């Protein structure tokens, strides 16, 4: 009889303790544990960037509205814009597309599956400014990287204005 009573108290104690622990384990009583930076959503070097949250708009405003086609070029192709475009092209595009946009950049020989487009050809030049802008913004899937993170909206239009001069340069 004494043994039973002792057992009863042991089980009661264990049960109570477990019950109290459960309150915390199942967040009935929520404890704000210190959180660690390394367990937040993040991406590591060479990982694809996290997708943009749904229904969010970049700080610069939406560059193009889906379903409304390519945007209009708001930046006049004046000397300043073309000069800036040339500089930005040299930094962001030349290694693939070549100094004159002919598709013969330094790393072009190493791109095995798809060669960079020759930007002087009608197949590119006949596209609208907006279409070129979207190519820079979104890249070409599995072929050319999206450069929207490297170039601001204004800078992308400058590059587009510069691409237009490549056409005139070829006979
Ligand atoms: C990593 C190499 C690489 C870089 C950097 C790059 N491109 Fe490209 N680009 C490519 C490749 C490869 C293609 C060919 C895609 C295809 O075969 O359709 C291409 C195609 C294009 C086209 C033609 C797209 C079409 O639909 O015909 C344009 C315009 C273009 N690039 C512009 C640019 C501009 C402007 C930049 C810099 C802001 C740039 N590219 C940077 C590799 C690159």
145 lines ligand 1 (CB under 6 A): yes
List residues bridging with 140 in a β-sheet: 144
Gap from CA of 52 to ligand 1 centroid (Å): 23
What is the pTM for the complete model shown?
0.71
- Ligand 1 atom with the smallest distance to the CA of 163 is 35
Gap from CA of 44 to ligand 1 centroid (Å): 26
The CATH number covering residue 115 comes to 1.10.760.10
Given a contact cutoff of 8 angstroms between Cβ atoms, the answer to whether 92 and 148 are in contact is no
Number of domains comprising the chain: 2
Whether residues 89 and 160 share a domain: the answer is: yes
Side-chain half-sphere CA neighbours of 25 within 13 A: 6
The pLDDT tens digits for 59-114 are 766 777 767 778 889 999 999 999 999 999 999 999 999 999 999 999 999 988 89
For residue 119, the enclosing domain spans 79-169
Given a contact cutoff of 8 angstroms between Cβ atoms, the answer to whether 163 and 119 are in contact is yes
Whether residues 110 and 29 share a domain: the answer is: no
Q: Which positions ≥6 away from 145 have C-beta within 8 Å?
A: 139
- Ligand 1 atom with the smallest distance to the CA of 111 is 12
Residue 31 lies in a domain: yes
Nearest C-alpha to atom 27 of ligand 1 is from which residue?
A: 124
* Mean pLDDT within 141-164: 91
Residue 86 lies in a domain: yes
Burial class (CB in 10 A: 0-12, 13-18, 19+), 63: middle
Gap from CA of 45 to ligand 1 centroid (Å): 23
For the chain, report the end-to-end CA distance as a whole number of angstroms: 109
Reported confidence tier of residue 30, pLDDT bands at 50, 70, 90: confident
Whether residues 95 and 164 share a domain: the answer is: yes
pLDDT mean across residues, the chain = 86
The pLDDT tens digits for 107-133 are 999 988 899 999 999 999 999 999 999
């Amino acid at each position: 009889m004494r043994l039973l009573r002792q057992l009863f108290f042991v089980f009661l104690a264990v049960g109570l303790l477990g019950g109290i622990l459960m309150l915390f384990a199942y967040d009935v009583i929520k404890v704000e544990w210190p959180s660690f930076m390394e367990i937040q959503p993040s991406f590591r070097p060479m990982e694809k960037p996290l997708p943009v949250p749904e229904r969010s708009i970049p700080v610069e405003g939406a560059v193009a509205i889906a379903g409304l086609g390519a945007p209009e070029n708001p930046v006049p192709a004046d000397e300043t814009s073309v000069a800036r475009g040339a500089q930005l092209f040299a930094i962001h595009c030349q290694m693939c597309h070549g100094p004159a946009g002919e598709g013969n950049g330094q790393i072009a020989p190493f791109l095995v599956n798809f060669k960079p487009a020759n930007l002087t050809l009608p197949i590119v030049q006949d596209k609208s400014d907006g279409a070129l802008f979207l190519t820079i913004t979104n890249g070409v899937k599995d072929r050319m990287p999206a450069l929207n993170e490297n170039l601001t909206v204004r800078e992308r239009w400058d590059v587009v204005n510069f691409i237009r001069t490549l056409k005139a340069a070829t006979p």
